[in-house]
Chains A and B, each alone.
Chain A
């Protein structure tokens, strides 16, 4: 066997019949190997090879197409690449350019921010420092003064304030000065406008006797705005004063001479004959006007805090100028109007020579009104109070002058006491007047705590003069000492009686009087006692006893011998028995006051009893060498005392 064949058979045998490839190949073969013929078998290889060729041809064709596509792709790609390169190049050049742009735009945006900021600042500044057309119109164009006007005015002063702060901080000096200048101009114009508006308002309201002012009305508001303009305020105050001066003056004169409508109420001057009524009515009118006027001004000027110089002559810039509240400034000038009419009328009253008591009543009325007018002005001194006080002090000095004249006259030729030793007519009369004066004082409106202070300076001199007058009368009389004492006691007591009724405030005077009284009472008691001892016979004995040399026994002294002692004692006992123990004390009996009478008498009796007692014990004393001294006396001192007291 042929090796080739063998190998072929081997190969066939080795062929795995169940392989997939084989089945597929066979399957495929069955597609074109349709007929098992020799020719077919011979041609099989050819067929297969041809088929193989065909397939390769197909492959080739396909690949050629693919290659073509790939070539196209490559071309495309190359194109893209170059485009990309272009782009890249372009980009890099663009990027270079935009960097510059960016930095430029950064700068611009920063500038923009700055500008925005400045814009805000400027707006702010504008708002703060510059006034809008509309605002300015309200300030200068509009005729009426409205809320906006005041708001604008306030804005102006705020701007002004801000400007000043700027100036202090050395900021924006130039512009601030410019603005300040503008603001000042506006302000000046606005205030001028306000001022002339106020003047017009004044004309319409203030000439009425009782003008209507509403607390929230236009005038108080307008005046309040002037609080920052002292000069204009001063002018306004002056104008108010002038209007009110006229009104008050007219009102007062009308009330005085014409009275109310159709003469009701009747004119004050109808009572001119009755000084107190006349003066009282005038002062009451002033008091009532003051109350209304104070109320009016309080409403008008309530918001003004600036104080104004007291006097118009002084420049307000001077540092030490005394200043007062505007309301008092006006009130004072206004009520200057009543000064003259009132003073002249009071002068008339005084010229009619009213009695001293009436003058004092006038003083009391004036004092009352100076107090209540002060209450109206909340305890602030006002011109009204000052006017009334000056009238009061004028009357007071007249009063003092009258007192002085009267007493001077009386003292030049003092009336002598009469035999009953009661106060002289002049003294009695003066005491009656003193009583009336103190009564007036007591019924005045001087507060309790001030009474003593007010009383003392006015009345002490009167009381002193009364005492002096009594003393002068007594000393001119050339009466014996004891009568002088009685007279003085009677006079002093009549004064004391009056003062005692008002001991709340007359203490000082009472002390003076009672000290004087004591002296005179002591004199009276002493004198009366020695007189009576003399009459009863033991006077000389007591005198010897009082002045005797204590080293010499009494019985050896002349007039002190047993016999004369016995006689004296007898006489004493007899007088005492005859009077039934109540001795006649003619001088003490001339005391007007019963109480004083009985106390002085008692003191005299006491002294007599004491004198008897001392004589008794002296005689009993063995040193004085009286024999059987007990037999000398009928009565023991105790018994005498019992009889006398």
Chain B
């Protein structure tokens, strides 16, 4: 029996409205760019299976709405995320300025091992650039984030962003830092810890 994948990593994509979060998702999962795509309502969802170190890994990606009014809804989706893609728009400084708020949110709502990647999107609009690579790079270093500039339109660095995050998560898993997200059970891991949600709760059924 051949397994289509051995791990599941849950991602969230966060960042201000209009920075291209949904476009990154679509570029990554469907290889297409939809200009003028509508604002995300609440959360959207996409999956893709990728190959990391010859292991098939399924990425389950939750794309959140950037609008402030959805914040109450979207923060529920941070839980259990193994990777967070924090996106800003290189042509709009304001979206860069808000990164600290997003980062605080992400740090508070995810677990300490969650890999956070900073993505400067809309790299293709070089002429309208408002945030330099160096500046964002320094910010990323300061906050211990990995950083890449991408373009959801041309597809440049989109794969890279998702895959680099996946690699780091995978590394973390192998070093034992991360008890895998429920269900993304690796056959090698110790059966007592690999699936806590199903193994530790049998006595809790009555609590409902």
* Cross-interface CB contact of B42 among A217, A218, A372, cutoff 8 Å: A372
The B1-31 residues at the A interface (CB cut-off 8 A) are 1-6, 8, 10
The A256-305 residues at the B interface (CB cut-off 8 A) are 256-258, 260-262, 264-266, 268, 276-277, 280-281, 283-285, 287-288, 291-292, 295
Whether the Cβ atoms of A260 and B2 lie closer than 8 Å is no
**Chain A residues whose C-beta falls within 8 Å of the C-beta of B60 in the assembled complex:** 291-292
Whether the Cβ atoms of B77 and A250 lie closer than 8 Å is no
A398 near B: Cβ within 8 Å? no
How many A-B residue pairs have C-beta atoms within 8 angstroms? Tell me: 131
Q: Which of A62-70, A205-213, A489-497 contacts B (4 or more CB under 8 A)?
A: A205-213
Whether the Cβ atoms of B3 and A212 lie closer than 8 Å is yes
Whether the Cβ atoms of B79 and A210 lie closer than 8 Å is no
Instruction: Name the distance in Å between A643's Cβ and chain B's nearest Cβ.
Output: 53
A376 near B: Cβ within 8 Å? yes
Instruction: Name the distance in Å between A46's Cβ and chain B's nearest Cβ.
Output: 136
Q: Which of B122-130, B142-150, B159-167, B179-187 contacts A (4 or more CB under 8 A)?
A: B179-187
Whether the Cβ atoms of B202 and A250 lie closer than 8 Å is yes
Q: Which residue of B lies closest to A207 (CB)?
A: B198
**Chain B residues whose C-beta falls within 8 Å of the C-beta of A266 in the assembled complex:** 79
**Chain B residues whose C-beta falls within 8 Å of the C-beta of A276 in the assembled complex:** 72
A344 near B: Cβ within 8 Å? yes
Whether the Cβ atoms of B198 and A281 lie closer than 8 Å is no
Per-residue CB contact flags for chain B residues 25-50 toward chain A (1 = under 8 Å, else 0) read: 00000000000000001110101000
Please report the C-alpha to C-alpha distance between residue A214 and residue B2 in the assembled complex, in whole angstroms.
Answer: 7
Whether the Cβ atoms of B208 and A368 lie closer than 8 Å is no
Please report the C-alpha to C-alpha distance between residue A284 and residue B64 in the assembled complex, in whole angstroms.
Answer: 12
Given contacts A212-B4, A214-B3, A287-B43, contact A265 B80 (CB under 8 A): yes
Whether the Cβ atoms of B208 and A344 lie closer than 8 Å is yes
Please report the C-alpha to C-alpha distance between residue A295 and residue B59 in the assembled complex, in whole angstroms.
Answer: 13
The B160-208 residues at the A interface (CB cut-off 8 A) are 179-185, 193, 195-198, 200-202, 204-205, 207-208
Q: Using a Cβ–Cβ cut-off of 8 Å, how many residues does chain A contribute to the interface with B?
A: 49
Whether the Cβ atoms of B184 and A217 lie closer than 8 Å is no
B94 near A: Cβ within 8 Å? no
Whether the Cβ atoms of B183 and A208 lie closer than 8 Å is yes
* Cross-interface CB contact of B205 among A250, A265, A292, cutoff 8 Å: A250
B110 near A: Cβ within 8 Å? yes
B76 near A: Cβ within 8 Å? yes
Q: Which residue of A lies closest to B197 (CB)?
A: A254
Whether the Cβ atoms of B201 and A254 lie closer than 8 Å is yes
* Cross-interface CB contact of B204 among A254, A265, A285, cutoff 8 Å: A254
Whether the Cβ atoms of A209 and B204 lie closer than 8 Å is no
* Cross-interface CB contact of A251 among B1, B3, B197, cutoff 8 Å: B197
B137 near A: Cβ within 8 Å? no
**Chain A residues whose C-beta falls within 8 Å of the C-beta of B196 in the assembled complex:** 254, 258, 260-261
Q: Which residue of B lies closest to A281 (CB)?
A: B76
**Chain A residues whose C-beta falls within 8 Å of the C-beta of B109 in the assembled complex:** 265
Please report the C-alpha to C-alpha distance between residue A265 and residue B6 in the assembled complex, in whole angstroms.
Answer: 22
The A349-378 residues at the B interface (CB cut-off 8 A) are 365, 368, 371-372, 376
A253 near B: Cβ within 8 Å? yes
Whether the Cβ atoms of A288 and B110 lie closer than 8 Å is no
Question: Which of A255, A284, A443 has the most B CB atoms < 10 Å from its CB?
Answer: A284
Q: How large is the interface on B (under 10, 10 to 19, 20 to 34, 35 or more residues)?
A: 35 or more
A445 near B: Cβ within 8 Å? yes
Please report the C-alpha to C-alpha distance between residue A613 and residue B162 in the assembled complex, in whole angstroms.
Answer: 83
Instruction: Name the distance in Å between B118's Cβ and chain A's nearest Cβ.
Output: 22
Whether the Cβ atoms of A291 and B72 lie closer than 8 Å is no
B88 near A: Cβ within 8 Å? no
* Cross-interface CB contact of B76 among A260, A262, A283, A295, cutoff 8 Å: A283
* Cross-interface CB contact of B41 among A215, A250, A283, A445, cutoff 8 Å: A445
Given contacts A212-B5, A212-B6, A287-B43, contact A255 B197 (CB under 8 A): yes
**Chain B residues whose C-beta falls within 8 Å of the C-beta of A295 in the assembled complex:** 47
Q: Which residue of B lies closest to A255 (CB)?
A: B197
**Chain A residues whose C-beta falls within 8 Å of the C-beta of B200 in the assembled complex:** 254, 258
The A173-232 residues at the B interface (CB cut-off 8 A) are 207-210, 212-215, 217-218
Please report the C-alpha to C-alpha distance between residue A367 and residue B119 in the assembled complex, in whole angstroms.
Answer: 33
Whether the Cβ atoms of B45 and A251 lie closer than 8 Å is no
* Cross-interface CB contact of A253 among B76, B185, B205, cutoff 8 Å: B205
Given contacts A264-B111, A265-B111, contact A250 B198 (CB under 8 A): yes
Please report the C-alpha to C-alpha distance between residue A291 and residue B42 in the assembled complex, in whole angstroms.
Answer: 14
Whether the Cβ atoms of B4 and A214 lie closer than 8 Å is yes
Whether the Cβ atoms of A247 and B112 lie closer than 8 Å is no
Given contacts A217-B1, A260-B111, A265-B111, contact A250 B43 (CB under 8 A): no
* Cross-interface CB contact of A258 among B79, B80, B193, B204, cutoff 8 Å: B204
Instruction: Name the distance in Å between B61's Cβ and chain A's nearest Cβ.
Output: 11
Instruction: Name the distance in Å between B207's Cβ and chain A's nearest Cβ.
Output: 6
A553 near B: Cβ within 8 Å? no
Given contacts A254-B200, A372-B43, contact A209 B182 (CB under 8 A): yes
Please list the 7 inter-chain residue pairs (A to B) with the smallest Cβ-Cβ separation, ordered nearest first. A210-B183, A261-B179, A284-B76, A209-B183, A265-B79, A341-B208, A264-B111
Give me 9 other A-B pairs in contact (C-beta within 8 A), A214-B2, A257-B201 excluded.
A217-B2, A253-B204, A258-B201, A260-B181, A261-B179, A262-B179, A265-B110, A277-B76, A284-B79
Which residues of B does A touch, CB under 8 Å? 1-6, 8, 10, 41-43, 45, 47, 60, 62, 69-70, 72-73, 75-80, 109-112, 179-185, 193, 195-198, 200-202, 204-205, 207-208
Which residues of A does B touch, CB under 8 Å? 207-210, 212-215, 217-218, 247, 249-251, 253-258, 260-262, 264-266, 268, 276-277, 280-281, 283-285, 287-288, 291-292, 295, 340-341, 344, 365, 368, 371-372, 376, 443, 445
Could you write out 7 A-B pairs with CB less than 8 Å apart?
A212-B5, A212-B6, A214-B3, A251-B198, A254-B198, A260-B182, A368-B73
